[in-house]
Structure 1
Amino acid sequence: MNSKKVVYLFFTTLLVGSISGAIVGFILDYSVYTEGSFLNMFFGLIWLLGISAAFSLVSQMGFFAYLTVHRFGLGLFKSQKLWNYVQIIIIAFVVFDLIYFRYIAFALPGETIFNFMIMPILLLLYGIVIAYLKAKDTNQGAFIPALFFIVVITTIEWVPALTVNDPKWLWLYLTPLITANTWQLLILHRLTQAK
């Protein structure tokens, strides 16, 4: 992959993450951004684009870190199959932790664990869909690594918002992360193909 493609990946990921985060942020606080003057909405949108751009940069760092970890895992376990089993176990632990530890930390008296299962299960289902698309576009061996990236790496990047547990920040932080991660995952093989 040449430098032109790396620059393309960087800026398109930044754009995808920024716009998606700004849209969701605007919807979440619609009344705040639409009350008052036009300048209130304008500067609110600039702020949303900026904060979402920062989150998409986190996504890009996570993506390149995962590419390194994936190569390291393949070298360490000497087998794609064994490395896939390790990734499946880590995915299961992360989904469990997202449910259980958030429930322990943030559940109100009388609140059930079911409320804390929704987001992790949706993330897992989304990861399965994206991993299927990646495997369909490349090869079946890409399914587990793609699922691992969408579920585990996105969760690691999402930790600052998870510790706050504010629903608005959970979605505002997750949106640019998940869209940027999805974009990078689904575009990379197209950029690296020889022409």
Structure 2
Amino acid sequence: MKSRDWVRFFFSSLLVGAIAATASGFILNWDQQAGSFQKFQIDEILASFIWFIGVGLLFSIISQMGFFAYLTLHRFGMGIFGSVWNAVQLVLIAFVLFDLVYFRYQFFGDSGSLLPYIWPAAGFFAVCLVIAYFKQKDTNKGAFVPALFFMFVGTAVEWFPALRENDQNWLYFMLISLLCCNAYQLMMLPRFSGSAEKKMGQRKAVEG
């Protein structure tokens, strides 16, 4: 992929993060924002809008760092574990799924019901399964496990700052933004690199 395509990929991912954070931010905080819209308080609406965009850009950068870290990890994993790399990833996925429920319950559960900690993790995992399925359909069957690993484990690692807090709005706000950014990168990187390869092939055909 050429540097120009990397730049386009980077800025398009930033845009996805900004849009996802702005939309989810206003929706999740609508009880606080509704009054500003009803009273048409432009300064407060604009301040919230700018803040959501800024945080969305930050989430996108975190997402992109995680994505390229995973691409490097995936290469190392294939080189070290070979054919059992997919099995290793599945074990790590199961471990992270358990941790998302158990450790949050240990920190914030106060000996109450476990269900409020199971449903967010289960919903998060279900969304990752759907994205991995579409990635598989878009490429090949071998892409399912790596896609699921990145979407679930990679996003969980990036999500850690929000997991340390027991604030439901902040938890979902960051998760939605990260999922949108990660899904976009996962699905679109081949298209950006494919576009670069296609242009190179056309240029060679012309020069030849």
Aligned to 1:47: 51
Q: State the shift of 1:130 in Å.
A: 0.8
Q: State the shift of 1:139 in Å.
A: 1.2
Which segment drifts farther, 29-38 or 63-72? 29-38
Aligned to 1:108: 110
Tell me if the contact between 1:17 and 1:56 (Cα under 8 Å) persists in the aligned partners.
yes
Aligned to 1:141: 142
Aligned to 1:30: 30
RMSD of the alignment, in Å? 1.1
Q: State the shift of 1:119 in Å.
A: 1.2
Aligned to 2:122: 121
Tell me if the contact between 2:24 and 2:177 (Cα under 8 Å) persists in the aligned partners.
no
Q: State the shift of 1:132 in Å.
A: 1.0
Equivalent residue of 1:32, what SS? helix
Taking the TM superposition and a 5 Å limit, the aligned residue runs for 1:1-195 are 1-36=1-36, 37-77=41-81, 79=82, 81-109=83-111, 111-193=112-194, 194-195=197-198
Q: State the shift of 1:31 in Å.
A: 3.7
Q: Following superposition, which runs of at least 4 residues in structure 1 exceed 6 angstroms of deviation? A: none
1:120-149 superposed Cα distances (whole Å, 9 cap, x missing partner): 111111111111111111111111000000
Q: Give distance in 2, aligned partners of 1:50 and 1:114.
A: 33
AA in 2 matched with 1:68:
T
AA in 2 matched with 1:162:
L
Tell me if the contact between 1:66 and 1:153 (Cα under 8 Å) persists in the aligned partners.
yes
Q: Give distance in 1, aligned partners of 2:34 and 2:77.
A: 49
Equivalent residue of 1:6, what SS? helix
Unpaired runs of at least 5, structure 2? 199-208
Q: Give distance in 2, aligned partners of 1:32 and 1:122.
A: 26
Q: Give distance in 2, aligned partners of 1:9 and 1:82.
A: 31
Aligned to 2:202: none
| Rg larger for | 2
AA in 2 matched with 1:3:
S
Aligned residues: 192
Q: TM-score, normalised by structure 1?
A: 0.95
Q: State the shift of 1:34 in Å.
A: 4.1
Unpaired runs of at least 5, structure 1? none
Q: TM-score, normalised by structure 2?
A: 0.89
